[in-house]
Amino acid sequence: MTSSSSTTCSPDPARSREGRERGEGSRTAWLLACALVPVLCLAALFSALGAQSAHGESARPDALMDQARGALARGDGIDAEVKLRAALNAGVPVTDVNALMGRALMIQHRRDRARPWLQTGRFSPATAAMGWRTLASLERQDGNLAASGRAYDRALAIIPRDAALWVEIGRLRYAGGEHVLAIEAAEHALALNPASVRALEFRGQLVRDRYGLLAALPWFERAIVNDPADVPVLLEYAATLGELGRASECVTVTRRVLQLSPANPKAYYLQAVLAARAGNHALARSLLERTRGKLDALPGVQMVRGVVELAARNPSAAAEAFEAVLRLRPENETARELLARAILMAGQYRYATLRFAPEIAAGQASPGLLLSVARGWELLGDRQRAGELLDRAARPPEPSLWALGRSRPVGRMLEQGQSEVEAAPVTSAEARRSNLGSYDAQALAGDVQLAMGHPVEAQEHYVLASRIRLSESLFERRLAAFAMARDAKGARELVEGYLRQNPTSRPALRAAAGLALQDGDPVRARTILRWLRDNGQDRDVALLSDLAILEAHGGDSARAVDAARAAYRLQRSSPVATQALAIGYAASGGHLAQERALLEKVRAIKARMPLPPMPRETR
C-alpha cells in the first residue's frame, strides 16, 4: 500500500484585487518572484540529490527495511511505520511490508489501521510467522477468539517450536475458558525454552491464580534473572509484592521500572495503591495524576481514584470514579456502597434513594448499601422508609446462588422462576458437556450443588475449579461447603493453606479468627479482628460486634464499649450490634438501665424478624 500527496494552489480573490490596485510595480515584483521559483526548486533538488548521495545507504530499500525491523525491536511503532512507507515508495513489495506494518500499528494501539494490512494474509515467507501471530493477537483483542485460533494455527505450522508463540496460544486458551489447556501450553513453552521470559511470566501468573501470591514470586524472579530489564515482568513482580504487603520491596521494583521506562503509568499506579493503603491520600492522588489518564479504562485505577477523592472530601469526583467502576464491573458491591457514601456526602439525599432503587427492589442490595439509602431517607424526613431498610439490613442473608450468568441455561431457568431443584441437573449436565478444564463450568456447578444443600457434591466441583484458580470468592464458597458438611478439619486445612500463600486475604483472616475461637484461642482471634478493623473494615457491623464481645470477655471493657458503639452507630436496628453494646455495658458496669433497654430491644427486633426459610429436603 502506498500513499501520495499533491498540493494545489488556487488564487485568493482579495489578494488579486489588492494586486491590481498596486499597479505595474506590484506586477513587476510578482514576475521577479516567479522567476526565482525555478531557481529555488533547482537548489532544493540539488540539495536533496546531494543529501541522497551523501547518505545513499539510508534510501536503499533493504536499508529501510532493516531500520524498520530495528524500530520494531525497540518498540517504536511510529518510526517503523515511517520507514516502511518509505520502503514501499522505494519499491519494496507489499507482501514484504504487510506483516511489519501491521505489527508497527499494533504497537501504536491502532488495531483499526492494522487490520487492512493483516487480514488479507498476503505475507512473504520471511514475514509470514510474524504476520499470522500479529493477526491472531489483533483478533484476540477484538474478541474474535475463533479467528484468533485459526491465525495461531497458521503461525504454529511455520514455527512450531517458538516458546513465545506457545505463550500467546496459552493466553488465547485462557481467555476462551480452556484453562487446563492454557496451563499445558505454558508448560510446553517452558519445555521448549526454560529461559523464556514470556513463558516464565505466564507460568507465574497461572501459579498465582492457582496457588497464591507467594508461590508466584520464584517464577517472576527467574524471569528477572534472565532479563533484568524486562518491564512487564518487573511490573508483575511489583504487583505481587504489593499484594503480599511487602510495600518497600514493591516501591523499589517500581522505581527500577521508572528508570527503564520513564513515566510508566503502571508503575505510578502501583505506587498510588500503596500510598492509598498507607492512608497518604494526597500522595496517592499525585501519583495517579502522573498516569496521565492512560489507565483510566481499568476498574482498579478508578477504584483507587474514588477512594482517594472520598478521603479528600471531593464527593462528586469520587462518585464519578465509582460510577466508572460499576460500568466496567457491575457486580462490584464495594464500589456500589462507596458510591452511595459519596452521594450522601455530596448532600444529594433524594438522588441516593433513586439511584439504588432498582437494586433494593430486586433484593440485590447489600446491608451496607441498605444502611446508606436508609440514611438518605432519614435525612429526607421519611423515617418509615428508613426503618424498613434498616430492618432489611439487619436480617441474616438468605441462602442464594453465588454466580449465575443469564446466558447460561441455569441462569435463564432461575430468571424464569424455576427452582434450584429443577435447575441443578441442568447445570451439572452443562458442566459435564463443557470442557472439564473450564474454571467457570466447574465453579458454577458447585454453586448450584451448594445452594441445593449438597456440600460434598459442591466440593467435588470446587476442587476441580481450584486446580485452575483459587480466588477469594471460590475460597469462601469452599469454606461454606465445609461448614455445611461440618468438616472442621477440611475447613482448617483450607484456611491455613490459603493464608500461607495469601497472608493479607481478608476473608481468610476472618475465617482464621473464627477457627481460633473454636480452638480456644481468643487472643489470636481478637488480634486478627483488630487488624482487620484498623485496615479497612471499620464499617463491618458483624466484625465490630464480634470484636466487642471478645474485648469484653478479655476484660478490656473500654475497648469493648468503643467497638460496640461503632457497630451500633452504623446499624442501630441490628440485633447483633445491639446485643454487643449491651455486653459491653455489662462488662464496664454502671450502665444497668442502658443494658436492660438494649436487651429488650434485641428481643423486640428478633420478634418482628421473619422466620428463616425451612431447610430443603435432601434426597
pLDDT digits (tens, 9 = 90+) for 366-396: 888 998 999 999 999 998 998 888 888 877 6
Query: Euclidean distance between the first and final Cα of the chain, in Å?
Result: 69
Q: Which top CATH class is 399-408+415-484?
A: mainly alpha
C-alpha 528: how far from chain center? 27
Q: Which of 48-52, 111-115, 254-258, 420-424 is the least confident region?
A: 48-52
Of 77-91, 334-348, 594-608, which range is least confident?
A: 594-608
Q: What is the mean pLDDT of the chain?
A: 84
Positive or negative CA dihedral for 92, 94, 95, 96? positive
Check residue 422 and give its pLDDT: 54
Phi, psi (5° rounding) for residue 434? -75, 175
**CB atoms closer than 10 angstroms to residue 616:** 14
pLDDT for the residue 538: 85
The helix, strand and coil proportions of the chain, stated in percent and rounded to the nearest 5, come to 75, 0, 25
Lowest mean pLDDT among 108-122, 384-398, 570-584: 384-398
Q: Which residues contact 504 (CB under 8 A, 6 or more apart)?
A: 243, 244, 245
pLDDT of residue 424: 53
For residues 589 and 555, give the distance between their C-alpha atoms in angstroms, rounded to a whole number.
12
* Residues 516/524, Cβ–Cβ less than 8 Å: yes
CATH of the domain spanning 527-612, picked from 1.25.40, 2.60.98, 3.30.70, 2.60.60:
1.25.40
Average pLDDT over residues 515-529: 92
User: How far apart (Å, rounded) are the C-alpha atoms in residues 142 and 145?
Assistant: 8
Contact of 600 with 581, CB cutoff 8 Å: no
The predicted pLDDT at position 601 comes to 84
What is the C-alpha to C-alpha distance for residues 34 and 240, in angstroms, rounded to an integer? 69
Span of 346-350, 408-412, 488-492, 546-550 with lowest mean pLDDT: 408-412
How far apart CA 50 and CA 220 sit, in angstroms, is 53
How confident is the model at residue 428, as a pLDDT?
54
Q: Which of 138, 126, 156 is nearest to 62 (CA)?
A: 126
Domain ranges of the chain: 399-408+415-484, 527-612
Mean pLDDT of 151-169: 96
**Residues whose CB falls within 8 Å of the CB of residue 80, separated by 6 or more in sequence, listed in order:** 68, 69, 71, 72, 100, 101, 103, 104, 107
Fold equal for 399-408+415-484 and 527-612: yes
Q: Which three cell numbers stand for residue 550?
A: 471478645
Give Cβ neighbours of residue 95 (< 8 Å, ≥ 6 apart). 122, 123, 124, 127
**pLDDT at position 595 over 90:** no
Mean pLDDT to the nearest integer, 4-17: 34
39: confidence class by pLDDT, cuts 50, 70, 90? very low
Q: Provide the sign of the torsion angle of the four alpha carbons 136, 139, 143, 144, taken in this order.
A: negative
Contact 343, 315 (CB under 8 A): yes
Write the Ramachandran bin of 401: left for phi over 0, alpha for psi from -120 to 50, otherwise beta: beta
**For range 51-78, the mean pLDDT:** 76
Would residue 379 be called left, alpha or beta, if left means φ above 0 and alpha means ψ between -120 and 50 degrees? alpha
- Res 62 pLDDT > 50: yes
